[in-house]
Chain A
Amino acid sequence: MSTVARIRRRPVRTPYLLLIPAIAILLLGMGYPVIWQIVTSMQEYGLAQQFGKPAPFVGAGNYLELFANGELWAVVARSLVFCLVTAFLTLGLGTLLSLLMTAVTKTARLILQIALLLAWSMPVVAAMTVWIWLFDRRRGAINYVLDMIPGVEMNRFDWLSQPWTFFIVASIIVIWMSVPFVAFSLYAGLTQVSDEVMEAAQLDGANAWQRFWGIILPMIRPVISIVLLLQLIWDLRVFTQITMLKDAGSKSGEYDLLGTYIYKLGTSSQDFGMASAVSILVLALTIALSWFYIRSLLKEDAS
């Protein structure tokens, strides 16, 4: 032990040298873009600037213009609602599945876990193509199955042609992809709840409901909050899913969430100043949400 302590205390340059490559790539790939974006968000940077015209400094001008813009508010509101609904549904469903895993036979649990793992491991783009095929208006399996229910007329129902159903589809897909992570994380947490405590509670007459709220939930609360936080952060940045659903359906602005909105500002409008301002908004929102997550990871690092 003493030798370890000695080596660690020795003032050396080694750690700094070891960090140079990582720091350099982070500054290049992340640091510079963030700074460029902060600067650009305070400039007028449109089509003329793309061709070399100097970008005039407008201070908070872009932000003020954004806040006065009804379209941005609509996009922000839509993104937040989508993110909250999807994240909470994911958490709820994931919790139920993790509880189910603890209550079933070994074989059933294994089958469920393999199914969840397969869904989890699907690359997003491949998953999107399958889901678009499943929801296909004319030949999709989902309309076919729904149409078989008596009284339901779903033949040729176009899910992607109106915002409501479009976002329901998007939400279903995101939930399908995210629930496995939640279920596995919570199941890992549940297996740490000791059997003796549960048995003692049972002997004392606590029913399943009471055991869940009184014992299980408090014990896995740290995992739940981390998982929910990650889910919120991830659901705020659903870009691939929305882009690909828009490819297959409508291109209209009513179907945009924050990611695709920034993309549109940057590509079709070539307005990098405004796009940067919205990006900064997204980054700020993400960092605010991440703070608790980062704090809990730091606690682990200290231990």
Chain B
Amino acid sequence: MRLRKILLSALAIVIALVWVFPVYWMVNSAFLPNTVLQSFIPTFFPVPGTASNFVGVLADGSFVNALGMSVAITLTAVFFCILFAFLAAVAISRFRFRGRKSFVIAVLIVQMLPAEGLFIAQYKMVASANLLNSVIGVSVIYVAAVVPFTIWMLRGFVAGVPADLEEAAMVDGLSRFGAFMRITFPLLAPGLVASGVYAFLQAWNEFTVALVLLPAEAAHTLPLWLRGFVQASATRETDWGQVMAASTLVAVPVIVFFLIVQGRLTSGLVSGAVKG
């Protein structure tokens, strides 16, 4: 029995190494000079390490430009997404009203609609409003795409703050709005952060809609910009060191933020099933 546990643990560690290898490989290649990467024998440790790939990536204005575009779109989308979702979450978890159930069903259905099945229409709509390559056009689509799950996530948090607390504050003389702002809102802070990070990840990583709505190179977000590097590899020799450095720069903030919300994300997606 003991031996079995040790063997299985060893197996788990081997699997862990295999699984993490691509992430390691990205960072490893990012720190290797291109002359080493050009060799036909891979180098498995970044021992003669260099930061020149990062310097090269940052020196090129296109990365900074794409970064600016990504930040602008993501911040706009996250702000409106959280604001709208918060209001809606309060409505469905603090009130019982006619049409509540229809709204919840509609939200859940919309949440499942894939961008891959909608982008033709979204392109046409944004193009006819003359908003292609603009922050606003793509942000509108992002907010609409992310708001449903955010409502769903926040709904749980709002419901988790007992209404009795608000009642008590109202008895003590606060207005309903005042009670909400002073009692419930601070208790919701973790929920708002988690939902905000979720919305951030969705908008920051989004590829399909951006590809369709931001055709001009100057309007490319980071995912589109990163794709451009690989796309070019079909025609000329790719500078893999720089591509990996760029991928690392794009991935690191995402990984950090992701670790913050991971637990909530898992339970949010499958809750209901686990309770059984």
Contacts and interface: CB of A to CB of B under 8 A. Distances in A.
B47 interface: no
A85 to B, nearest CB: 19
Interface in B96-113: 96-97, 100, 103-110, 112-113
Contacts of A18: 87-88, 90-91
Query: Which has the most chain B C-beta neighbours within 10 Å: A34, A115, A185, A223?
Result: A115
Instruction: Tell me the interface secondary structure of chain B in the complex.
Output: helix
A125 B276 contact: no
Interface stretch (A58-66, A98-106, A162-170): A98-106
A76 to B, nearest CB: 13
B187 interface: no
B174 to A, nearest CB: 14
Given A129-B244, A134-B25, A22 B85 contact: yes
Contact of A262 (B12, B92, B113, B116): B116
B8 A282 contact: no
A299 B87 CA distance: 23
B57 interface: no
A173 to B, nearest CB: 9
Contact of B144 (A25, A132, A258, A282): A25
Nearest to A6: B167
Interface in A54-101: 97, 100-101
Contacts of A25: 80, 84, 140, 143-144, 147
A225 B273 contact: yes
Contacts of A40: 120-121, 124
Contacts of A192: 274, 276
Nearest to B123: A266
B271 interface: yes
B40 A123 contact: no
Contact of A109 (B12, B91, B115, B211): B12
Bin the interface of chain B by size.
Answer: 35 or more
B226 A263 contact: no
Interface in B238-254: 240, 243-244, 246-248, 250-251, 254
Given A15-B97, A105-B5, A287-B112, A22 B88 contact: yes
A174 to B, nearest CB: 13
A147 B259 CA distance: 36
A276 interface: yes
B191 interface: no
B145 interface: yes
B140 to A, nearest CB: 5
Contacts of B248: 126
Contacts of A139: 37-40, 42, 240
Instruction: Tell me the interface secondary structure of chain A in the complex.
Output: helix
B208 interface: yes
Interface string A158-199: 000000000000000000100111001100110010000000
Contacts of A216: none
A283 B113 contact: yes
Contact of B116 (A115, A116, A259): A259
B132 to A, nearest CB: 13
Given A30-B118, A247-B227, A296-B272, A118 B80 contact: no
A115 B234 contact: no
B188 interface: no
B125 A33 contact: yes
B87 A294 contact: no
A22 B147 contact: yes
A119 B19 contact: yes
A117 B230 contact: no
A204 interface: no
B58 interface: no
Interface string A291-302: 001101111110
B161 interface: no
Nearest to A136: B240
Contacts of B120: 37, 40, 262, 266, 272, 275-276, 279
Query: Which has the most chain A C-beta neighbours within 10 Å: B12, B113, B204?
Result: B12
13 contacts: A40-B121, A100-B12, A104-B8, A121-B254, A123-B204, A124-B223, A181-B266, A243-B211, A243-B227, A248-B234, A282-B114, A300-B275, A301-B155
Interface of B: 4-6, 8-13, 15-17, 19-20, 22-23, 25-26, 29, 37-42, 80, 83-85, 87-88, 90-92, 94-97, 100, 103-110, 112-125, 140-141, 143-145, 147-148, 151-152, 155, 163-164, 167, 204-205, 207-208, 211-212, 222-223, 226-227, 229-231, 233-234, 240, 243-244, 246-248, 250-251, 254-255, 258-259, 262, 266-267, 269-276
Given A112-B15, A125-B247, A222-B274, 10 more contacts: A15-B94, A109-B12, A121-B262, A126-B251, A136-B240, A244-B230, A262-B119, A276-B120, A280-B117, A298-B104
Q: Which 4 A-B pairs have the closest CB atoms?
A: A29-B144, A300-B272, A33-B121, A121-B258
